[in-house]
Structure 1
Amino acid sequence: MENPRNTPRLETPRLILRRFVPEDAPALWELLRDREVNRFLPWFPVETLAEAEKFLWERFLDTYRTETGWRYAVCLREEPERPVGYVNIAPGEAHDLGYGLEKACWHRGLMTEAARAVVEQVRRDGELPFLTATHDVLNPRSGGVMQNIGMTYRYTYRERVEPKKEWVAFRFYQLNLTEPADYVWKGYWESHPIHWIEDTGM
C-alpha cells in the first residue's frame, strides 16, 4: 500500500507537481529520447516506448511503495495530464536532487520553481538533514538552478560515468537543512581520488 506521505502533490504559480502514473509513459518517452535534453545525464537517450515504460516503473512508480520519498512529474498548470519534466530526490546517503525538463520549457525559470517547491516540502517533512546535487562542469545552467534554490558549491570531482564510459568533472552542491551551515558531505570526494575545490567566485 502506498504511503500518502510519499510524494504529496504540490502546486506553484505555474506548475503542478504530482506522482507519475502509467499513462505518463509517452510524455516521458518524448523527454528521455531528446538527445539535447539528455546530453549531460549519465544514461543514453531511450530509443523505444518500452524503454521509457521500464524507466518509468523503475525510477518512479515502483518507488511510491516505499515509506517516504519525493519523486515528481512536473506539469504545466494548463496541461496537468502531460509531464514536461521531473524532479526527484534519489534514495541513499547523498539525498541527491535530480531533474530534467523538455526544451520548449527551458529558460523560463520553471525548473527553479519546481525544485524550490520540492525543497520546501522536504523542509516541511523534516526527514532529511541535507540535500546534494551535481552538474557536469560543461552544463553551468544546471548549476544555476542549484544556486537559485539556495544550494552552495562545495567541491568538484572527476568520475567515469557508466554506461557512457566518459570521464566527467562534476561540481557538487549542498543545502543543509538541519546540519550546521559549514557541514560538507564528503562521500563523492572520498570515493573519487581526483577532486579539488575550484575558485568559482561563488
Structure 2
Amino acid sequence: MLFRKELGTCANTPRLETERLILRRFSEADVDDLYALLRDPDVNRFLPWFPTETREEAAAFLHERFLDTCSLPSAYRYAVCRKTDDRPIGYVRLAADDSRDFGYGLRKEFWRQGIVTEAARAVVFRLRQDGVPYITATHDVNNPASGEVMKKIGMTYRYSYEELWQPKNIPVVFRMYQLNFSREDGWTYRKYWDRCEHHFIEELPSR
C-alpha cells in the first residue's frame, strides 16, 4: 500500500495518508465525532471502558487518551478520518508502556469495509520505520473480527489468558497476538501469561 507521510502538529504522531484515509492527531474540535463513537454500546462492547454518557465525558476521554499523552516517547495516537471530510470515524493507538499494545476502534456504520485494516497497516509501517521493536494486541475470544484485523496486519497468535476485566468487572478470555520488528521472531511478550493464573495455548484454525 502506498501512502504519504508528513509531520503533523505532534512530532510523535506524524500525519499519514492511505488510499481512502487520513490519519492525524486528534484536536479539541474532534470531541463530537469521538463522542459518537464512544457512546455506542455495540462499538464499546469489547473495549475496556463503558460507553460514554455525556459530551463532557467524551471531552475528558479525548484529553486523557489522545491529547495529554501526545508528548510521550511512544505517543502514536491517530484519528482515523475519511479523505472526503477529514472527520474522525475511529482511532488507532499504541500504548506507551512495555506491552506496546496496539488498539483500534471504529464507528459501527463503517464496519466491514476494511477501514481499520487499512489504517492499521499504515501505522504499522510507520512503527517499523521508527524502530519500534514489537507490538502486541489482544482481543476477547467473543470478538474474533478483531483478531482477523491482527492477522491481516501480520500479527501472529501467541497465547490466551483469562482475567477479571476492569472496570467492567467481568471474566474475559483474551487472545494475545504479536508482531516483532527488530526482535527475534520467536520472542514473545509474556507479561499477561505470567500475571494471569489461567493461561493456555489454543489450536486455532489457520484461516
| Shorter-chain TM-score tier | over 0.9
Q: Does 1:12 align with 2:18?
A: yes
Q: Does 1:101 align with 2:92?
A: no
Aligned AA for 1:87? V
Query: Which one of the candidate residues 73, 76, 93 is aligned to 1:70?
Result: 76
8 Å CA contact 2:74, 2:96 repeated in 1 = no
| SS of aligned partner of 1:75 | strand
What is the aligned partner in structure 2 of residue 177 from structure 1? 181
8 Å CA contact 2:72, 2:96 repeated in 1 = no
Please give the per-residue CA displacement for 1:13-39, whole angstroms capped at 9, x wherever unaligned: 000000000010011000000000000
Gaps in structure 2 of 5+ consecutive residues? 1-7
CA distance in 1, matches of 2:56, 2:150: 32
CA distance in 2, matches of 1:62, 1:151: 29
Q: 1:173 to 1:67 in 2, by over 3 A?
A: closer
Runs of 4 or more consecutive aligned structure 1 residues displaced over 6 Å after TM superposition = none
| SS of aligned partner of 1:71 | strand
CA distance in 2, matches of 1:37, 1:68: 25
What is the aligned partner in structure 2 of residue 21 from structure 1? 27
8 Å CA contact 2:9, 2:25 repeated in 1 = no
Aligned CA RMSD, in angstroms, stands at: 1.2
Aligned AA for 1:190? D
CA distance in 2, matches of 1:4, 1:43: 26
Gaps in structure 1 of 5+ consecutive residues? none
| SS of aligned partner of 1:60 | helix
8 Å CA contact 1:3, 1:68 repeated in 2 = no
| SS of aligned partner of 1:164 | coil
Report 1 or 2 for greater relative contact order, CA contacts < 8 Å, sequence distance ≥ 6. 1
- 1:25-44 equivalence runs, <5 A: 25-44=31-50
What is the aligned partner in structure 1 of residue 165 from structure 2? 161
CA distance in 1, matches of 2:142, 2:191: 22
CA distance in 2, matches of 1:93, 1:123: 16
TM-superposed CA distance for 1:69, in Å, is: 1.9
Q: Does 1:192 align with 2:204?
A: no
